[in-house]
Chains A and B, each alone.
Chain A
């Protein structure tokens, strides 16, 4: 019987297999940031261990950094960032600190340097490591104990998850993006729908996505509970990688591409589960609740808790509406927001900024609008294209790279009761600041919303 993409990549990384034990898996790339690593380095020091392969490890500062120029003023944040610097210096790990041209959100910089390649295993103490699966890598988030384990051994013990195919048939209509697609998928299968699985996104609509779009989709796999999400590499993948700083060159490139072309699910392979989605019926999608599965088409209304048959979902919806300050039956396009955030590892890449700029060109924002490039390289590219001028002329704020308003660890936060349209990935209670209310949207919807002050589809401007 044939094998799935996930099975192939997994098998190629098994260092040791023994009955009744998890596989010992080799890790090709380990990404590190300041938040989930300090206690891991402490652990190494306590047990007198070293980093086995510092040259398969890369670090950046992203979660705590302010996105306006100047030093970190929060002393606790500053200590955490300085701790990362000390640890990287001590253990010989490449670090892109604040202000460095290579700095950025951890999941943006791996692909940008060409470090994320098809068929690799990639881990990071961060759940959105699933992003890297867009290249046909097995990429997943780990906790701090596992970060320490990878630092010490360059391996991880793990059971192979089951495999799920999400077949996205047909093509996305014009104006419907990768973000709308993944939000619709999560609403369909639920936040627990992917639990225990590696998801492979397949089908015509997936093939048609750019690498940026594929990363957006894979990024939010964890929001459906999946351990990882992946997409088979193809010409789009190779074209994206070619010429990047760490991509193979010359004969090595040809050898790599020949290998990468074998990384696809065999026709006779069987997935443990298959979910089908018709892309052609989708429209812009937004969340109304406090988990990413609580979403609906922007053209619909805030659902009533009674419409959920499952009692647990019903009470979750009740609680969510209460927290979000929403009434069932309200048209989503009537929901007023006061803040718009474009950025994060979900939608902080150049294509996302272009989508926002296309809407904002020649228009004015009526909300506080933060546009935050995912990395300094994205920032540079955007400025070379003049996107920063578009944003500034529209009245939006153009910031330095970082996680920014994706999570409440740096100065960019919502105040209690404030409501945002955000291109990030989590609408959890308090995620963007205590008491803040988050609607997850695509960059295009975010920009259109900034123009009207209400959740808005670009087509309705």
Chain B
């Protein structure tokens, strides 16, 4: 996956709550068997509305998405993360995330940042007032910074380390292949197999 250390870029305010993954990438886009090309499906239905914020030229090239609460709820589709990354987003800031989406993001190197609701709204208002405003998402310091604001955010040490190093989970787990063997040898014999 992509490593994430610190990122500075412009932000897009998405003033919606419960942005489910069906909105982030509608089901018809999930039929691809490759991992690329999903940026075209990002918010596909909403982007048909010329007034939708991603269609506003002043936010073109922005790389931080600032959303209302409960971003990425619903379906487990990792395609939602791929679509956001391929469109150019490096981080998403919201007050709450769907659990599976948050997990998927950290596997891929898209940083989900939880900030309190009022701070998310303050940031949204700030980028609405000045779309050129630069926002820094700093995983090393666990901070989000813009203007004179400096806000800390929480992320567990392990996930942070994996993101900073860009480490592949499977590789890490396979270091413990012996533990897996031992566990497997102790499993109850009546547990089902599919054969």
Q: Which residues of A contact B (CB under 8 A)?
A: 15-16, 20-22, 24, 26, 28-29, 35-36, 38-39, 42, 47, 49, 52, 55-58, 63-64, 74, 76-77, 79-80, 83, 93-94, 114-115, 117, 120, 125-127, 140-146, 148-149, 152-155, 157, 159, 161, 191-192, 195-196, 222-223, 225, 227, 246-248, 252-253, 255-256, 259, 290-291, 312-313, 315-316, 319, 407-409, 426, 428-431, 434
Q: Is the CB of A38 within 8 A of B26?
A: no
A246 proximity list for chain B (CB < 8 A): 192-194
Looking at the complex, which one of A20, A55, A409 makes contact with B27 (CB distance below 8 Å)? A409
Q: Is the CB of A153 within 8 A of B73?
A: no
Q: List 6 A-B contacts (CB under 8 A).
A: A26-B183, A115-B194, A143-B76, A152-B170, A191-B18, A248-B192
Bound: A157/B103 CA distance, A: 11
Given A49-B170, A291-B20, A429-B23, CB of A36 within 8 Å of CB of B78: yes
CB distance from A457 to the nearest CB of B (A): 27
Q: How many of B's residues come within 8 Å of A, CB to CB?
A: 61
Q: Is the CB of A225 within 8 A of B28?
A: no
B52-60, B93-101, B132-140, B143-151: which lies at the interface: B93-101
B5-13, B30-38, B84-92: which lies at the interface: B30-38
B125 interface residue per 8 A CB criterion? no
B170 proximity list for chain A (CB < 8 A): 47, 49, 148-149, 152-153
B177 proximity list for chain A (CB < 8 A): 153
Q: Is the CB of A39 within 8 A of B34?
A: yes
CB distance from B23 to the nearest CB of A (A): 6
Bound: A142/B30 CA distance, A: 15
Given known contacts A154-B184, A248-B190, what 16 new A-B pairs fall within 8 Å (CB)?
A: A15-B180, A24-B173, A24-B180, A26-B184, A36-B30, A125-B78, A126-B76, A127-B75, A141-B76, A143-B104, A144-B104, A152-B173, A222-B74, A252-B189, A315-B17, A428-B20
Q: Is the CB of A157 within 8 A of B33?
A: no
Bound: A42/B27 CA distance, A: 21
Q: Is the CB of B31 within 8 A of A64?
A: yes
B191 interface residue per 8 A CB criterion? yes
Q: Is the CB of A127 within 8 A of B96?
A: no
B174 interface residue per 8 A CB criterion? yes
A146 proximity list for chain B (CB < 8 A): 103-104, 107
* Residue ID in chain A nearest B172 by CB atoms: A157
B32 proximity list for chain A (CB < 8 A): 76, 80
Bound: A149/B190 CA distance, A: 25
A58 proximity list for chain B (CB < 8 A): 194
Instruction: Please provide the chain B residues from 138 to 179 with a CB less than 8 Å away from any CB of chain A in the complex.
Output: 156-158, 169-170, 172-174, 176-177, 179
Pairs A-B, 3 closest by C-beta atoms: A143-B104, A143-B78, A145-B107
Bound: A428/B77 CA distance, A: 15
A313 proximity list for chain B (CB < 8 A): 17
B179 proximity list for chain A (CB < 8 A): 15-16, 24
CB distance from B65 to the nearest CB of A (A): 17
Q: Is the CB of A196 within 8 A of B76?
A: no
CB distance from B71 to the nearest CB of A (A): 10
Given A127-B74, A153-B173, CB of A142 within 8 Å of CB of B180: no
CB distance from B19 to the nearest CB of A (A): 10
Q: Is the CB of B158 within 8 A of A55?
A: no
CB distance from B114 to the nearest CB of A (A): 11
A143 proximity list for chain B (CB < 8 A): 76-78, 81, 100, 103-104, 107
Q: Is the CB of A77 within 8 A of B31?
A: yes
A253 proximity list for chain B (CB < 8 A): 190
Q: Is the CB of A408 within 8 A of B31?
A: no
Q: Is the CB of B158 within 8 A of A39?
A: no
Q: Is the CB of A114 within 8 A of B169?
A: no
Q: Is the CB of B45 within 8 A of A192?
A: no
Q: Is the CB of B74 within 8 A of A80?
A: no
B34 proximity list for chain A (CB < 8 A): 38-39, 42
A227 proximity list for chain B (CB < 8 A): 99-100
Bound: A103/B31 CA distance, A: 19
B129 interface residue per 8 A CB criterion? no
* Residue ID in chain A nearest B68 by CB atoms: A312
A126 proximity list for chain B (CB < 8 A): 75-76
Bound: A70/B81 CA distance, A: 34
Q: Is the CB of B195 within 8 A of A42?
A: no
* Residue ID in chain A nearest B30 by CB atoms: A35
Q: Per-position contact with A for B100-113: 1 when CB-CB < 8 Å, else 0?
A: 10011001100000
B70 interface residue per 8 A CB criterion? yes
Q: Is the CB of B31 within 8 A of A76?
A: yes
* Residue ID in chain B nearest A127 by CB atoms: B76
Q: Is the CB of A83 within 8 A of B173?
A: no
B27, B169, B191, B195, most chain A CB atoms within 10 A: B27
CB distance from A31 to the nearest CB of B (A): 10
Bound: A247/B192 CA distance, A: 7
Q: Is the CB of B16 within 8 A of A319?
A: yes
Bound: A290/B17 CA distance, A: 11
Bound: A222/B169 CA distance, A: 24
A16 proximity list for chain B (CB < 8 A): 176, 179
B22 proximity list for chain A (CB < 8 A): 407, 426, 428-431
